[in-house]
Amino acid sequence: MELLTTRRIGRPRVPHDDIRSLEYLIVLSNKYEIDPEEILERLFEAQKVGESLRGRFKIECRNKAEGHSFFLLTVGGKMVAQLRLKESLLNDQSRTGTIFKRLVDSNPPRGKAKQTVSNPKIRDLKVGARVTELKAKVVSKKPTQRVQSRWGNTFLFSMAAISDGTAVINLPLWNSQTNMISIGDEVQIKNGKVAVFRGERQLNISRKIGQLNVL
């Protein structure tokens, strides 16, 4: 299977085999439409407790030997990949997470044109689509929580769900966004991207150029 083009990932220089291992995770995420960060999180979990299951996607840590961990990845009970990763790569989650995010940002999927849509029907949204504008109604919203990232940063978070009458999609809300909307509001989202988390579609609002407005 062809791997993605290696980019320079800052200093200090990252070993080439570490880059190739992380790039292969991105290949798998693109092929099976799984959020790449979800794969990495599941690997970290499986490394600690033996396995990690979310929806149809499962990772099992089968063995540890000579500084490596061996993993089996399945989707819907069907084996899709076997991985051998350095334990040092899995133990230093902060460093690995930073490197992986840069790789994801700098390597868009190959062989697939990015789908960019404006005012789409929610039922038609595909994973990876970039949404320039979407209007919908808030149909549910969970209580705001204070959460901590793996790097120790603290955020306010709430998960809402929006619908245009054709389907429902989750809408993650962060910090000030958590107080902006309520159930029943008509909202407008600008500059978002469709992803999958724990088997469900969600529309992530871009942190840099995204907008959330109540109509």
pLDDT the model gives residue 1: 39
pLDDT the model gives residue 205: 93
pLDDT the model gives residue 113: 45
Q: How far does Cα 120 stand from its chain's mean position? A: 21
Render each residue's pLDDT in the chain as its tens digit; 215 residues.
Answer: 334 444 444 444 567 778 888 888 888 887 777 778 888 888 999 988 999 887 778 899 999 988 899 999 988 788 888 888 888 888 888 888 888 888 877 665 554 445 678 888 998 888 778 899 999 999 999 999 988 765 667 889 999 999 999 999 999 999 999 999 999 999 999 999 988 776 678 999 988 889 999 99
Read off φ and ψ for residue 20, nearest 5 degrees: -60, -40
- CATH T-level topology, domain 116-214: OB fold (Dihydrolipoamide Acetyltransferase, E2P) (2.40.50)
pTM for the complete prediction? 0.52
Domain boundaries, the chain: 16-106, 116-214
pLDDT the model gives residue 190: 94
The Cα 99–Cα 197 span in angstroms is 20
* Spatial CA neighbour of 196 closest among 76, 38, 52: 38
- Helix (H) / strand (E) element for 37: namely helix 36-49
The Cα 13–Cα 64 span in angstroms is 26
pLDDT the model gives residue 109: 54
Q: What are the helix (H) ranges across the chain? A: 16-32, 36-49, 87-91, 93-106
CB 203 within 8 A of CB 170: yes
CB 157 within 8 A of CB 173: yes
pLDDT the model gives residue 170: 95
